[in-house]
């Protein structure tokens, strides 16, 4: 019994490797998103100063319901500047449930304010 299988050989982009590494240790926060820090190269490419975290994935939850997408950069939550992932985790953990939270993101070079309701 003989079977023919077509195979395409090629390199996967680095982004896939990074995303799967982030996914494997994913623990959802109140926003139901996974974020990562930005490299100096990404900051330059996105024309960002020294703050902000990159949205790696968005699960169904508060962030997806207001339109936060993979690739957005979260710059502020309420009046708090988000410098890195540790800042993001600390601030999100302390957010009160049942309130609307002001979130400043950057998408494709444009700042956008969103009102996100924490459950």
- Domain boundary assignment for the chain: 14-117
Contact 58, 64 (CB under 8 A): yes
CATH of domain 14-117: 2.30.42.10
Q: How many CB atoms lie under 10 A from the CB of residue 67? A: 13
Give the predicted TM-score (pTM) of the model: 0.74
State the pLDDT at residue 6.
Answer: 62
- CA distance linking residue 91 with residue 88, whole number of Å: 5
Q: Rounded mean pLDDT of 52-59? A: 93
State the pLDDT at residue 96.
Answer: 86
State the pLDDT at residue 7.
Answer: 59
Q: What is the pLDDT of residues 2-49, one digit of tens each?
A: 766 665 565 544 444 444 444 433 456 888 899 999 888 888 888 777
Among 113, 100, 71, 105, smallest CA distance to 88 is for 105
State the pLDDT at residue 23.
Answer: 40
Q: What is the pLDDT of residues 71-107, one digit of tens each?
A: 999 999 999 999 999 999 999 999 888 889 999 999 9
Among 84, 6, 98, smallest CA distance to 48 is for 84
Question: Which of residues 61 and 5 earns the better pLDDT score?
Answer: 61
């Amino acid at each position: 019994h003989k079977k023919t299988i077509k195979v395409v050989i090629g390199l996967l982009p680095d982004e896939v490797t990074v995303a799967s590494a982030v996914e494997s240790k994913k623990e959802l926060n109140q926003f139901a998103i996974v974020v990562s820090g930005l490299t100096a190269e990404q900051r330059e490419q996105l024309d960002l100063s020294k703050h902000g975290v990159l949205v790696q994935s968005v699960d169904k939850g508060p962030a997806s319901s207001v339109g936060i997408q993979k690739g957005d950069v979260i710059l502020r939550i309420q009046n708090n500047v988000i410098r890195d992932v540790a800042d993001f985790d600390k601030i999100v953990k302390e957010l009160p449930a049942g309130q609307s939270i002001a979130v400043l993101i950057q998408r494709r070079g444009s700042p956008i304010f969103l009102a996100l309701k924490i459950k």
